[in-house]
């Protein structure tokens, strides 16, 4: 498998001299933009059961993690230096059980704007999963976060995109 190396001119966050710069989106059309990202956290089956039964010492783990993910999406531009502040119209965090030892997180983010919301969706997933870790780390420090990735995006000049299925 060959990997193509992007040219500096192909990277939107660098100017002609190679300096980091914020992309000027002022001339872009305002369109509906949406991004969906996902990831999951693996843990001991007993930890997953503790969360599912609502018996964690710190309270409603997934409810609090949902709020953390929503808050994170709204503050992405404060965390990632070249992201634009975006007025989001939707942030949804959904959870699903995966087997006996994992919980999956899916974030859907939407706006009417001049730039996409991929980073907001990815940030929401990461922070939601980190919050799950924080809430139950006292009983399971070996938890691990996996496969955080963009699943799809739509809107803007580049149109729609969907991730290929994961191998394996």
Q: Is 18 left (phi over 0), alpha (psi -120 to 50) or beta?
A: left
d(CA 8, CA 72): 30
Q: Show Cβ contacts of residue 3 under 8 Å, excluding neighbours closer than 6 positions.
A: none
> Which two tokens mark 6?
């992007």
Cβ of 27: how many Cβ atoms within 10 Å?
6
Confidence (pLDDT) at 150: 98
> Which two tokens mark 5?
């190396």
User: What amino acid positions are annotated as catalytic residues?
Assistant: 134
Residue pLDDT, tens place only, 37-54: 999 999 999 999 999 998
d(CA 135, CA 94): 17
Whether the CB-CB separation of 129 and 75 falls below 8 Å is answered with no
Confidence (pLDDT) at 116: 86
Intervals of the chain under pLDDT 70: 1-16, 19-22, 24, 26, 168
**Its pTM surpasses 0.85:** yes
């Amino acid at each position: 498998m060959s990997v193509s190396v992007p040219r500096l001119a192909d990277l939107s966050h660098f100017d002609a001299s190679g300096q980091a710069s914020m992309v000027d989106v002022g001339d872009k059309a305002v369109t509906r933009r949406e991004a969906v990202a996902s990831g999951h956290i693996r843990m001991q089956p007993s930890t997953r059961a503790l969360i599912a039964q609502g018996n964690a010492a710190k309270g409603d783990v997934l409810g609090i993690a949902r709020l953390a993910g929503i808050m994170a999406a709204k503050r992405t531009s404060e965390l990632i230096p070249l992201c634009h502040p975006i007025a989001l119209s939707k942030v949804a965090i959904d959870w699903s059980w995966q087997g006996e030892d994992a919980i999956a997180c899916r974030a859907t983010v939407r706006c009417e704007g001049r730039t996409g919301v991929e980073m907001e969706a990815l940030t929401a997933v990461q922070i939601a999963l980190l919050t799950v870790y924080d809430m139950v780390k006292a009983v399971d420090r070996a938890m691990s976060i996996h496969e955080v990735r963009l699943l799809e995006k739509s809107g803007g000049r580049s149109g729609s995109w969907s991730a290929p299925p994961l191998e394996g």
